[in-house]
Structure 1
Amino acid sequence: MRFNVFKNTALLFVLILISCASKTKNNLNETNTVLAKTETTIVNTTTKSIIVGANQTEAYLPLLKGKRVGIVANQTSVLFKNVTSSKTPNFDSNTHIVDTLLDLQVAVKKVFAPEHGFRGTADAGEVVKDGIDTKTNLPIISLYGNNKKPTVAQLQDVDVIIFDIQDVGARFYTYISSLHYVMEACAEQNKTLIVLDRPNPNGHYIDGPILEKEHTSFVGMHPVPVVHGLTIGEYAQMINGENWLNNGLKCNLKVITLKNYNRQMAYDLPIKPSPNLPNAQAINLYPSLCFFEGTNVSAGRGTDLQFQIYGSPFLPKTDYAFKPKSNEGAKYPKHENKVCHGYNLSGIKQQNGLNLSYLINAYNTTSTKSDFFIANGFFTKLAGTKTLQQQIEAGWSVDKIKATWTSGLNDFMVKRKPYLLYQ
């Protein structure tokens, strides 16, 4: 009797051990599966380098054979060292696309330069002049100033235009406006446009008011939100597909797509896209802080922390202050040589949406509300609507303002879907 009880108890104990071991093994297997998936994801995003369109010469050199070529380019238009596909020539170092194509015996006729110029050193808003590239002796034609659109004469000796510019995904960043005018000129003159795609460092979110047609300008040409989430290749497709070109023209467009890219991947630009966007933090904060360009508040031009700080002589004293001085990319900065009280955002975490709290805080605490928004209407051009200024002046909260964007953003998400090239 006692033996049977002992035997049954022992048997029950063994069964429990087996069951626990089985569950532990299953849990371990599940954990290993999750870890494996995580490790696979990490491997896929860290060991496979993004290959930009420019590096994929095998995809676009055949399109240039026997053609006369013009290039829209600046300092970001490079092929990166050791980031190649199997059929791409192995360039020894980062080389500018103009130099690369000339080395490959492509008949490059001229370079078109956007805002900030071919070498990217001109101030924001500064007129970029025509000239000659001292390295290649190619003519440089400015697309910033009075001549924003290539003329018939400028394209007369060109069959194909290459557009290779690093964008940052904000509506008021003027490279996409230059893209529009280049596409329009190509469509009117029956020229082919090849866009060499590059990642959007702010491609992980979409936010902001939709531009209203009556506020169209060079800092906002299309009915899109402030942050549109598109690469420049996707944006070109949307310009074409939505009939945004003059008279509904269609550009003969070819996009050389990125490899190993999705819009949720973090991407730090290896070359600053303009003089006042020196690093990833500035690029991430740019969509939120650029609104200050239409106010009496400095966003850090004339310092080493451009678009990472904000302040003015009219804000109350805080723990942080700065004094803008003339420098490369900001010859005459706002509040030059004056003490600006404000905030240093260079250490904050990545923003995943437009942050209006900086703008609203500055307006609410300024000593001169009547002069906060610059009288020339530039704030409205940046916002793409008069409504945002009116909402801020009326004391609306961030959440209440953003709620008014929801319908427009939802409509835009649907509208842009056919033009997406990446997940």
Structure 2
Amino acid sequence: MAFLSSFKSTVFLWFLIVSSCGNTEKQPKNNTVSQNNPIETPQNKPIIVGANSIDEYIGMLQGKKVGVVANLTSVIFKKNGHTHIVDSLLALDIDIKKVFAPEHGFRGQADAGEKVKDGLDTKTGLPLISLYGKNRKPSSALLKDVDVVLFDIQDVGVRFYTYIATLQLVMEACAENNIPVLVLDRPNPNAHYVDGPTMEKEHTGFLGMTTIPLVYGMTIGEYAKMINEEGWLADNAKADLTIIPLKNYSHDLEYSLPIRPSPNLPNDTAINLYPSLGLFEGTNINAGRGTEFQFQRYGASFLDSTQYHFKYRPKPNFGSKSPKENDKVCYGADLSEIPRMKEVSLRWIIDAYTNSTDKSKFFNTSGFTKHAGTEKLQQQIEGGMSEAEIKATWQSDLGNFKNIRKKYLLYE
């Protein structure tokens, strides 16, 4: 018990420091590590993530063969750092059979969309099974030597961020094979609002498996409850689901991630702008990949240079081996000083479309529909609708979702 107690430390959350090759005209903000700067609630109580409440879930794992769905964010915080949950559980003699890796891989080095390969973890020797390659859902064969699956991944609360799709497919596979699922909850840095177009059933896929808005305002634990209870698993199955909740958390609380959740979300600003600038992923516009300011700027060589004072040149770097507009001068906007957003903004994508010198090459229609969740948004932008007019068309769906969402909230 003394060993276990050492893990029940106060969670210290720091601003993230990142370093990658790219443009050097200025340094990204929000990148200073402070080991003495915990994020605290209004009651001055630090947030405790689910992973840190080991005494609440260790009994579910002892004597069991365990599969873990994890990446580089799956850590247990301590006063002077953190340890990966896989390393911590192995130290507690938990029998981990394999690790399932989502998009970007177990150590978080793969580019967005880059297939992740199976292999062995060099540190632990555990088998690594990719859920972002030929398999996106664990097969019965892969689960045959597993008694329980633990899921612990940091989400950012945006529908096309694929970790929630991995969660749903893991829950579905476990339900089909009568294997309990244990979700360790973590804060959502974009949980303070609900906004954006709602995914339409005919466009569902790995960038959006359910009919939820672009920003859904729930932690990954709350969302797991919704998946389970709303009948979103195949054949209306239900997983044997346990959630280890956060402590001292509320949705409105600003949360600075201590570890970048994926290669191209390096800091708080990028994460906060991701719901809005992520829509550029379905266009031919560069959204900062290939620079140190991923999802904090946008631009392209075919935007009207007379309308923009800002320009930059993307080049291959960590997380982006072949960025859009590679080595071309991109004209656009720098958003790295934008205050914290509380809504999805369309003003930048409308601005870019309006000032495109070749509108025929602006949209990647298939990709944009997958990200937006609907064909309507592209049609609305091309039709010249204003941001206010477009957002008015979302309100009925948003109201319906919010009523459903209330049933599954674990926090204020």
Counterpart of 1:411? 400
Secondary structure in structure 2 of the residue aligned to 1:136: coil
Q: What do residues 231-251 of structure 1 show as CA deviations (whole Å, max 9, x unaligned)?
A: 000000000011000000000
Residues of 2 paired with 1:140 and 1:416: CA distance? 34
Secondary structure in structure 2 of the residue aligned to 1:226: strand
Query: Computing the radius of gyration over CA atoms, which structure comes out larger, 1 or 2?
Result: 1
- Aligned residues: CA RMSD: 1.1
Secondary structure in structure 1 of the residue aligned to 2:354: helix
Q: Equivalences for 1:77-92 in 2 at 5 Å?
A: 77-82=74-79
Change (3 A) 1:93 1:365: closer
Residues of 2 paired with 1:380 and 1:146: CA distance? 23
Following superposition, the deviation at residue 252 of structure 1 comes to 0.4
Q: Equivalences for 1:378-393 in 2 at 5 Å?
A: 378-393=367-382
Residue 311 of structure 2 corresponds to residue 311 of structure 1: no
Q: What do residues 178-205 of structure 1 show as CA deviations (whole Å, max 9, x unaligned)?
A: 0010000000000000000000000000
For 1:326, which of 279, 295, 316 is the aligned residue?
A: 316
Counterpart of 2:28? none
Secondary structure in structure 2 of the residue aligned to 1:268: coil
For 1:359, which of 340, 349, 353 is the aligned residue?
A: 349
Residues of 2 paired with 1:230 and 1:120: CA distance? 23
Secondary structure in structure 2 of the residue aligned to 1:105: coil
Counterpart of 1:65? 62
Secondary structure in structure 1 of the residue aligned to 2:213: coil
Residues of 1 paired with 2:119 and 2:150: CA distance? 19
Residues of 2 paired with 1:193 and 1:43: CA distance? 29
Counterpart of 2:204? 216
Residues of 2 paired with 1:44 and 1:289: CA distance? 29
Counterpart of 1:74? 71
Counterpart of 1:227? 215
For 1:174, which of 147, 162, 166 is the aligned residue?
A: 162
Counterpart of 2:127? 139
For residue 113 of structure 1, what is the amino acid of its counterpart?
Answer: A
Counterpart of 1:343? 333
Residues of 2 paired with 1:388 and 1:43: CA distance? 38
Counterpart of 2:42? 45
Residues of 1 paired with 2:358 and 2:194: CA distance? 32
For residue 391 of structure 1, what is the amino acid of its counterpart?
Answer: Q
Tell me: higher relative CO, structure 1 or 2? Use CA pairs within 8 A at least 6 residues apart.
Answer: 2
Percent identical = 60
Runs of 4+ aligned residues of structure 1 deviating over 3 Å after TM superposition are none
Residue 107 of structure 2 corresponds to residue 119 of structure 1: yes
Residues of 2 paired with 1:301 and 1:370: CA distance? 22
Following superposition, the deviation at residue 81 of structure 1 comes to 1.3
For residue 211 of structure 1, what is the amino acid of its counterpart?
Answer: M
Following superposition, the deviation at residue 93 of structure 1 comes to 3.6
Residues of 2 paired with 1:190 and 1:409: CA distance? 34
Residues of 1 paired with 2:385 and 2:134: CA distance? 39
Counterpart of 1:19? none
Residue 201 of structure 2 corresponds to residue 204 of structure 1: no
Counterpart of 2:360? 370
Secondary structure in structure 1 of the residue aligned to 2:224: helix
Following superposition, the deviation at residue 206 of structure 1 comes to 0.4
Q: TM-score, normalised by structure 1?
A: 0.87
Following superposition, the deviation at residue 76 of structure 1 comes to 0.1
For residue 335 of structure 1, what is the amino acid of its counterpart?
Answer: E
Q: TM-score, normalised by structure 2?
A: 0.89
Structure 1: unaligned runs, 5 residues or longer: 1-41, 83-91
Change (3 A) 1:143 1:44: closer
Change (3 A) 1:44 1:270: closer
For residue 169 of structure 1, what is the amino acid of its counterpart?
Answer: G
Following superposition, the deviation at residue 44 of structure 1 comes to 4.7
Secondary structure in structure 2 of the residue aligned to 1:71: strand
Aligned length: 372
Change (3 A) 1:336 1:46: farther
